Structure 1
Amino acid sequence: MRAAVLQRSGLDGIAIRDDVSTVDVSDVLVRVRVRAAGVCHSDLSAATGRLGLTPPVVLGHEAAGEVSAIGSDVDGFEVGDRVMVSWVPQCGECASCRRGQPELCGYSARPEYRRPRFVVDGEPVAAQAGCGAFAEEIVVTRHNLVPLPDGVPFEIGALVSCGVTTGVGAVRNTAALAAGSSAVVIGCGGVGMAIVQAARAAGAAAVLAVDPVAAKRELALELGATDVAEPAGLAAAVASVTGGEGFDVAFEAVGVPETIRSAYDATRRGGTTVVVGVGAADAVVPFTARELYASGRRLVGSVFGSSDVRRDYPRVIESWRAGDLRLEKLISDRIGLADLPEALAALRAGSALRSVVVF
């Protein structure tokens, strides 16, 4: 079968191969025929070495498709079921799941979860985030799967499986944004656009969207932002929108020290800064001990939108059906697997929002 294999770090290290196979399905494993896979900025980070993956690895983590085979210990799913694939397994049994933080599920650290999922040239090959979504078929655990309702397009299911739920969850779960609040969103990629829409749907009085790309700022206005700014104009926008006080909640959706620092500085005293972007392990954000104490601000990380996928995937889909989330607007184009390297390059250049690989 065809799959996108990262053979060495860098976009020129991606090979679209047609001789890849999956491992056999056993115990809790499920084989899924991928129908759509979103091209996320995390995939770009994985391909370029920012996430520290060791090639070879099959790329991709945001997918929807149909169950094609199940292991002996799988219940709740049957061959032919339509499913969304969560890159975070949620087992319901570990300490994090029991305390109501399934986004931090410890199942992914277990040796059996980390076993390779593909075979290339007779050798076992790992899957990005335990998924490897840029393949015609993938093997995941039953803990990674959530039913996709009939009538929901696979490409919408793919978006919901990661980027959209991450952004919406940051608003609803991590920040618990209240009606009448003010919010700033720094970084208007797919996740940032989901944050913009969720903030307006939550009743935010002001939503400032910040991005260097003019087309993204225009789309943010269309999707619910009340104001937009280039990064260089953020300080002036804070003054004009909030009277200089700062925003109740600042969402950072880039994952680099400069934008995290900017989000913190744009937050009012006593407000909340939510870090949603995936940063590099060696990236350091400068804060002084005094400012962390004296400002009274909350600085919190949002892993996968603090989401419980069995609860939040259906809620996000209902918001899409109700028109509160215009998810089709997040799709820049629909591509074949062979076009993946170019789609990642466009994502890096800022000329694409979210490509979807359609199988």
Structure 2
Amino acid sequence: MVEAHSQKQQIQQVVYRILDVNLDRAREGLRIIEEWCRFGLNDANLAEVCKHLRQEVSRWHTSQIRSARDTPGDAGTDLTHPQEEQRSSITSLLQANFCRVQEALRVLEEYSKLEDAQMGKAFKQMRYQVYTLESNLMGYQRHQLLWRSHLYLVTSPVDNLLETVEASLKGGLTLIQYREKTADDVIRLERARKIRQLCHDYGALFIINDRVDLALAVDADGVHLGQQDMPIAVARQLLGSQRLIGRSTTNPQEMQGAITEGADYIGVGPVYETPTKAGKAAVGLDYVSYASKNCPIPWFAIGGIDANNINDVINAGAQRVAVVRSLMHAEQPTLVTQYFISQLYRK
């Protein structure tokens, strides 16, 4: 009887140690996220949500649980992983800490059931609140990065696709659209995943051309739709409110329609004739000038823009441009990216 009681106490101490370390882990992760909301985004509401969650976690961190802590005897203190030693971007930092918090809350939810059913219920609710916070914050991050992005690369099928994309990212590119009309879906899925990972590593937005299903499959940041693609409202239902949706436009009527439908950004063009849009007449610089005076959302001049004419497009009112061949066929994509960005920011 005494031995059974002693074994029960030992198990209880182990459970307390597990609760202790995960309560600390959840609080630490929430504090890291809170600091970005407070100082990086200057968003008092999101910071307050983080603070409230952190204080709720602290409420369950009782002296009884703390007393079970045994840091010298913890076999896991020296365990690490190379991915923990560096963060490639704010996005990757935030995602890593959201994962950290969610995992900790799941452990707390399960192990606390052995001690206090109410504690288990509380952490279950907190876990759902953190999922919502992540969705809201990452959506906020996407929209902020969209507004800060002035150069947009739309890919075309080339042999060195991944090398060109990464070289452009090294030049400071923060927005990429994967566009490939004729490849099999198996190939598209593989390439999309690889570009998505590159964008994640460099803190850039990743958009899929046309295909909402592919965007969902690879967890892209959004889709770009043509005039003949599905309505924006339908895409929004499928993608949710936090992902980005762009729309191609060729005239003021299409621009207004896209804005009314709820597009996050639009393409304005083709400014010049381009083989990417074979058979489609160029809209010229007049539409660029119109967009500069009338478009309240981010817009990107697109179509035949290169190093020789970019300043004409900028002088017509463009602050953002999208390019295809100028980067995909460039001998030195990094340098070309830097040149385009320097011209756009000079404006």
Q: TM-score range by the shorter chain?
A: under 0.3
Structure with the bigger RCO (C-alpha within 8 Å, sep 6+) is 1
Q: TM-score, normalised by structure 1?
A: 0.23
More helix by share: 2
Q: TM-score, normalised by structure 2?
A: 0.23
Q: Which has the larger radius of gyration?
A: 2
